[in-house]
Structure 1
Amino acid sequence: MKHRRGIDLTKGERGQPIYVGEAMDVMADVTRMMQWECIGGRCARCEREGWVDRWELQQGRSSIVLSEIAKRLRCRGCGNKTGNKVILGRLPRD
């Protein structure tokens, strides 16, 4: 499907975060991140990646640090709770 001005509205990965890398600064405050930056987790055992709704995390809190998120990550694939990493991504801005 195309928009009347030629914009392709059926792009496959539209809205999916683009992987940037692991969070090096685990003391960073989530509330100070840009709107297009995303937070996710990677399982240390099975290497599965998943993205977290950061707006839901921030709701009702004045600040939240990435190290707090890392402690609470649990893999939905294998159930692993130890050694999981916080990853960062960004939304496509096209």
Structure 2
Amino acid sequence: MRHARGKDLSFRGDRYEEVPPDDWTTLSQLQQWYQLAARCGGCGRVSRVDRYALARAHGAALPLCAIGARLTCQNCRNKTGNMLLLGTMPRD
């Protein structure tokens, strides 16, 4: 997907880093330019996570380190070993 000004908004899994297990930053404290993704512990699938839908469902005070345990893979339905990934949007 491309932005009207030519910015590349497509999803690239290589820009993401794993959230440390001791990171108690909450969804409400996370800056807008950060994107969330999830990696399945079973099949290895990486997909984008809608942070605003997550905040509506579980509350904006949910720490990032607690999100991985709540994720379910849409591909293989795995619920164990899933990891939350944090990345930034590309900037000019």
Q: TM-score range by the shorter chain?
A: 0.7 to 0.9
Determine helix, strand or coil for the equivalent of 1:57: helix
TM-score, with length taken from structure 2: 0.74
Structure 2: runs of 5+ lacking an equivalent: none
Give the number of aligned pairs.
Answer: 85
RMSD of Structure 2 on Structure 1 (CA)? 2.3
Which structure has the larger Rg over C-alpha atoms? Answer: 1
Q: Which one-letter code corresponds to 1:81 in the other structure? A: K
Q: Which sits farther off after the overlay, 82-91 or 16-25? A: 16-25
TM-score, with length taken from structure 1: 0.73
Distance 1:45 1:62 in 2: 28
Structure 1: runs of 5+ lacking an equivalent: 1-6
Give 1:17 shift. 4.7
Percent identity for Structure 1 against Structure 2: 34
Runs of 4 or more, structure 1, over 4 Å off, are none
**Residues 43, 76 of structure 2: 8 Å contact kept:** yes
Q: Which one-letter code corresponds to 2:79 in the other structure? A: K
